[in-house]
Amino acid sequence: MNSALIFIFLTIVLALFLGIRARRGKDMSLEQWAVGGRGFGAAIVFLLMAGEIYTTFVFLGGSGYAYGHGAGAYYLLGYGSLPFILSYFLLPPIWRYAKERNLISQPDFFASKYNSPVLGVLVAIVGFAALVPYLVLQLKGLGIIVSVSSYSALSSNQGVLIGAVVVAVYVALSGVHGSAWTSVVKDALVMFVAVFLGLYLPYHYYGGVGDMFAAIEKAKPGFLALKNVGESPVWMVSTVILSTLGFYMWPHMFMATYTAKREEVLRRNAFVLPIYQLMLLFILFVGFSAVLAVPGLTGGDIDLALFKVSLATFDPWFVGVIGAAGILTALVPGSMILMTSATLLANNVYRPLRPQSSDAHVARVAKWLAPAVMALAVLFTLGGGQTIVALLLMAYALVTQLFPVLLASLIGKNLVTRPAAFASIIVGEATVAWVSLTKKSVAALFPFLPDALKDLNVGIVALAFNVATLVVVTLLTRRTAAAAQLSADAS
């Protein structure tokens, strides 16, 4: 057994131990399991929300994107700041409404606001459809990390299986309490690894961060600024907008909001989290340091940039530490996603189908569904699938389509009618599915657009259709709805 493998195993054991220990002294009702009994303080809510940013997608994908695409990766910094401005205004009213009504999940919120359990089922299905590919992505990243950082002592598939079992066990037992405790270890370790690598690697290979960028600019002119076509400023800005609107539309992020003890916790996070995102800068430095140090990775292999450059630089034991950090970036978000998926299915699909079920029964169903969902994700992961990144982008676009209907429900007296809410979500999702499956770009869809707009993220098009539907159907149905209300009031 090599020394890297020892660190990896210790991490996995520690994650399992913390996850299971977290349930001590709690009776695991659905409210405790899914939203921690709404008792989490600032630090824990902070870590649960930061956990969304530091997933394997950033650890591997962020550094890999900088390595392969250069300036295109800067968009991560925009993504690291704007969602939190939105959160300051958006989350407190969501939290307050959910607390008053003891809501557990995101579909509960839509169902309650629009007084329609069926809308809740629709939102639950959308959420589930977006979460499964996201879970698959975490598992796939986990497999890569375990196999590379163990110097191939473990295969990628073995890594996936071990990780899946660990997450499924502690999610079923401890729910969000487990995720919270593992988050603490994860963020400390990831912070250390990211900052250390981001400063050490540029220094080691180039003599410093400034010298590194100067060397890259010399070797690959234009790599460090956005292009005029493709990954242009239009592309970057539209992608940041989409990511910002989608950030809190993820069902697990929505539920993380519910865990807060007081709404002040959410407000304070709006100014603490952005500064925390500066860690992304160091992740980008790692990717850039690999550009000239380990050249030649192309295609999907760019995701290996961080580990390739680490393998070339450090002793095995330290590669093990990096691997341990990487594993935690998969386990923590993976557990949040898994718990949320199980809650959506049990609370918002199963319960409406069997309305006579007791709360305790629904809680048991959720806990049994967690391993089942994990098994499904493992099947998808092992079944291959080169299109994971395409799936993730589709998943992001899917959840973003919930934003207009949510926003309308928060503004004063909601003018949007129930049919309009259904129609807008369905039109938005259908557009995303169609565009993703046919892999059309905006340029292909609308050849008559001025060149400057052809790099728009396609999710924006779906969002535009979505909002247009919302407005038109609301105008068409409002009179009928008002008349129905009048006659109901009269009788």
Partner 1 sequence: MRSIHLLALLPVLAVLVGPFFVNRVTPYVLGMPFLLAWLAGALVLTSIVMAIIYYADRARFEAADRGQEGV
Which residues form the interface with partner 1 (CB under 8 A)? 71, 74, 77-78, 80-82, 84-85, 88-89, 208-214, 217, 224-226, 233, 236-237, 240-241, 262-264, 267-268, 270-272, 274-275, 277-278, 281, 284
Report the interhelical angle of 316-345 vs 117-149 (nearest 10°).
Answer: 160
Residue (82 or 169) nearer to partner 1, CB: 82
Q: How far is the CB of 165 from partner 1 (least distance, A)?
A: 37
Q: How far is the CB of 80 from partner 1 (least distance, A)?
A: 6
Q: How far is the CB of 34 from partner 1 (least distance, A)?
A: 21
Q: How far is the CB of 239 from partner 1 (least distance, A)?
A: 11
What is the C-alpha to C-alpha distance for residues 311 and 331, in angstroms, rounded to an integer? 22
* Nearest Cα residue to 461 out of 428, 422, 424: 428
Beta bridge partners of 260: 40
Q: At residue 341, what are phi and psi to the nearest 5 degrees?
A: -60, -45
CA angle 460–465–471, rounded 5-degree value = 125
Residue (82 or 433) nearer to partner 1, CB: 82
Q: How far is the CB of 444 from partner 1 (least distance, A)?
A: 24
Contact between 298 and 215 under an 8 Å Cβ cutoff? The reply is no
- Map 237-287 to HEC letters: HHHHHHHHHHHCCCHHHHHHHHCECCHHHHHHHHHHHHHHCCHHHHHHHHH
Residue (5 or 270) nearer to partner 1, CB: 270
Q: How far is the CB of 77 from partner 1 (least distance, A)?
A: 4
Residue (184 or 224) nearer to partner 1, CB: 224
Residue (220 or 354) nearer to partner 1, CB: 220
What is the C-alpha to C-alpha distance for residues 64 and 47, in angstroms, rounded to an integer? 24
Per the listing, tokens 């499956």 go with 437
Residue (278 or 484) nearer to partner 1, CB: 278
DSSP state of 40: B
Residue (169 or 224) nearer to partner 1, CB: 224
Q: How far is the CB of 92 from partner 1 (least distance, A)?
A: 9
Residue (69 or 478) nearer to partner 1, CB: 69
What is the C-alpha to C-alpha distance for residues 17 and 277, in angstroms, rounded to an integer? 28
Q: How far is the CB of 202 from partner 1 (least distance, A)?
A: 9
Residue (181 or 205) nearer to partner 1, CB: 205
**Cα radius of gyration (the chain):** 23
* Nearest Cα residue to 224 out of 157, 294, 285, 183: 285
Residue (120 or 287) nearer to partner 1, CB: 287
Q: At residue 40, what are phi and psi to the nearest 5 degrees?
A: -85, 140
Q: How far is the CB of 490 from partner 1 (least distance, A)?
A: 37
Contact between 395 and 131 under an 8 Å Cβ cutoff? The reply is yes
Q: How far is the CB of 225 from partner 1 (least distance, A)?
A: 5
Q: Is 225 helix (H, G, I), strand (E, B) or coil?
A: coil
Residue (208 or 295) nearer to partner 1, CB: 208
Answer left, alpha or beta for residue 77, where phi above 0 means left and psi between -120 and 50 means alpha.
Answer: alpha
Residue (88 or 97) nearer to partner 1, CB: 88
Q: How far is the CB of 257 from partner 1 (least distance, A)?
A: 15
Q: How far is the CB of 217 from partner 1 (least distance, A)?
A: 6
Specify the long-range contacts of residues 262-268, CB closer than 8 Å, at least 24 apart: 263/91, 263/92, 263/95, 263/96, 265/40, 265/41, 265/42, 265/45, 265/46, 266/45, 266/87, 266/88, 266/91, 266/92, 266/95, 267/88, 267/91, 267/92, 268/42
**What is the DSSP code string of 327-384?**
HHHHHHHHHHHHHHHHHHHIIIIIHHHSTT--HHHHHHHHHHHHHHHHHHHHHHHHT-
What is the biggest distance separating any 2 CA atoms in the chain, rounded to whole angstroms?
81
Tokens coding 274: 């952005």
